[in-house]
Amino acid sequence: MPSAASTTVRILIGGLTLLVAVGYKNYRDLGAPGKRPNLDNNEYWGPQLKGAYQENKAIKPYDISVAPELIADLKTQLERPLKVHDPLEGIGFEYGFNSNELKKVVKYWRDDYLPNWNKREEFLKKFQHFQTEIQGLKIHFIHAKPSNAKGKKVVPLLLMHGWPGTVREFYDFIPLLTKGSDKSEYVFEVIAPSLPGYGWSQSASRPGMGAAQVAVIMRNLMLRLGFDKFLIQGGDWGSLIGSNLASLFPENTLGYHSNMCGNNSPMGILRLMLSSIIPSFYIDSQYAQYYGGIGKVFETILEELGYAHIQATKPDTIGAALTHNPVGLAAYILEKFSTWTNPAYKNLKDGGLTKHFTYDQLLDNIMIYYVTNSITTSVRLYSESMGKAQLSLNVDSVPVKAPTACARFAYEMFHVPDSVLANKFPNLIQSTHYPDGGHFPAFQVPEQLYADFVSFVQKAFNQ
């Protein structure tokens, strides 16, 4: 007859074995592929109708000209005395946008930029702009065809921006894509839309349009233009919407290239936490410098993501504060082009704004938000994409089957290692790390982003 001690040991071993088995099953279940949600691919998002909806499928050239009276009113606002507090002694951008730098931006905007608005407007018109109606919304997009496709294979590309960007981010990137190079046999026909509620694209009239629903609209836009299969490239929201599109419509996705890779599936979140605690188990040692530990993750969340919490919970409040408030709008948006380009720039009194960008470039982007009155509608995407209804779709657990590439630029806020991306992107064929660049690579380092992108396309089409 076994002793009481041996019986206790057997019970403990049995219990531990059961816990391990249950834990393994739960871990395996976390990584189980999700099912594609049954979304309505024709869901109507426009203003309330009195009768049946008839979609206008016409594709029309779109004039982005700004009414002169709006420019005159903006000039009047910028001429008002700027009553801001002096920054604290020795402070750069640690407390947000430095008021001394803000004075310089406003002065340049008023005295140099606006007097040359006609030239800036012509520059913004350098590409062909169009508009078409998708699911009740008037969607704006740039359509840039190859300038010289001789001897090249032409591939359609859906190119998507995020917040606080606009299509302006792509003005140096698009010519590289459409001109091509000796390094690639491919050249691209680029469709760069303004996301719904951004720039010249109409916003939803009712709640519920999150990243998944925007992905449906973007896919329908490409179908409208005659592209049944296409590549996807994006960062920020463009990356998340692109990931959703590739998950929901594998039959239309030739490949997915992201410069802000993420995996918000339950398994992805668990692995990300573990990689922050025990990085050596999840991260290749040669790239360890790109990944911070758990302390760095929480430090970044606390210092840099306050805006996201506001926009996810009270988008209309922050929108009301910034609407037709050019100085506030500039401070709120341009701060991101400082610290998101390089977090060390927060220690500089000018925020390092002109280290990589010109005031003209930055103000072009601000102007698109201002003249289209789209700041409120743009930030609503945070609320719609982070609510229970959107999360319940579980798109994050649906794998992307298409060839995928992840380009990591050194000063992006977060980097996600390949081991964390694995269950979401089982066909990750290119993973790169760069010693420079930040959150806006198409704007900051377009040649580097282009080289990474064409390298991926070459691999994707020669698998």
Does residue 346 lie within any of the structural domains? no
Q: What is the pLDDT of residues 427-458, one digit of tens each?
A: 999 999 999 999 999 999 999 999 999 999 99
pLDDT over threshold 80, residue 336: yes
Instruction: Out of 369, 439, 450, 452, pick the active-site residue.
Output: 439
Does residue 358 lie within any of the structural domains? no
pLDDT over threshold 50, residue 16: no
Q: pLDDT value at position 4?
A: 46
Mean pLDDT of the region 286-296: 76
Tell me if residue 143 is catalytic.
no
Does residue 251 lie within any of the structural domains? yes
Q: pLDDT value at position 2?
A: 47
Let me know: does 183 contact 454? Beta carbons within 8 Å.
yes
Instruction: Out of 382, 411, 434, 450, pick the active-site residue.
Output: 382
What are the φ/ψ torsions at residue 16 (nearest 5 degrees)? -65, -40
Q: For all residues of the chain together, what is the average pLDDT? A: 92
pLDDT band at 300 (very low <50, low <70, confident <90, very high): confident
Task: Give the torsion through C-alpha atoms of 166, 168, 170, 172, to 10 deg.
Answer: -160
Q: pLDDT value at position 182?
A: 86
Q: What is the pLDDT of residues 414-429, one digit of tens each?
A: 888 999 999 999 999 9
Amino acid letter for position 171: Y
Q: Half-sphere exposure of 102 toward its Cβ, with a 13 Å CA cutoff? A: 24
Tell me if residue 345 is catalytic.
no
Distances (CA, A) of 322 to 117, 312, 330, 373, 378: 22, 16, 9, 10, 12
We report the CATH number of the domain holding residue 256 as 3.40.50.1820
Q: What is the pLDDT of residues 175-192, one digit of tens each?
A: 999 998 888 899 999 999
pLDDT over threshold 90, residue 43: yes
Domain with 156, as residue range(s), is 127-323+373-462
| Nearest residue to 228 (alpha-carbon basis) of 159, 146, 140, 155 | 155
Q: Which residue has the tokens 């700004």?
A: 66
What are the φ/ψ torsions at residue 193 (nearest 5 degrees)? -85, 155
Does residue 310 lie within any of the structural domains? yes
For the chain, the domain total comes to 1
Does residue 347 lie within any of the structural domains? no
Tell me if residue 418 is catalytic.
no
Q: What is the pTM of this model?
A: 0.92
pLDDT band at 10 (very low <50, low <70, confident <90, very high): very low
Distances (CA, A) of 443 to 38, 195, 218, 374, 439: 36, 17, 22, 21, 9
Does residue 66 lie within any of the structural domains? no
Q: Half-sphere exposure of 172 toward its Cβ, with a 13 Å CA cutoff? A: 13
pLDDT over threshold 60, residue 14: no
pLDDT over threshold 80, residue 31: no
Lowest mean pLDDT among 203-212, 216-225, 409-418: 409-418
Instruction: Out of 236, 364, 396, 452, pick the active-site residue.
Output: 236
Mean pLDDT of the region 253-277: 91
Does residue 15 lie within any of the structural domains? no
Q: pLDDT value at position 252?
A: 98
Residue 64 tokens, joined? 């982005």
Q: What is the pLDDT of residues 67-82, one digit of tens each?
A: 999 999 999 999 999 9
H/E element, 404 = strand 404-409
Does residue 333 lie within any of the structural domains? no
pLDDT over threshold 60, residue 212: yes
pLDDT band at 30 (very low <50, low <70, confident <90, very high): low
> How do 230-234 and 186-193 pair as beta strands?
unpaired
Q: Which residue has the tokens 């019970």?
A: 11
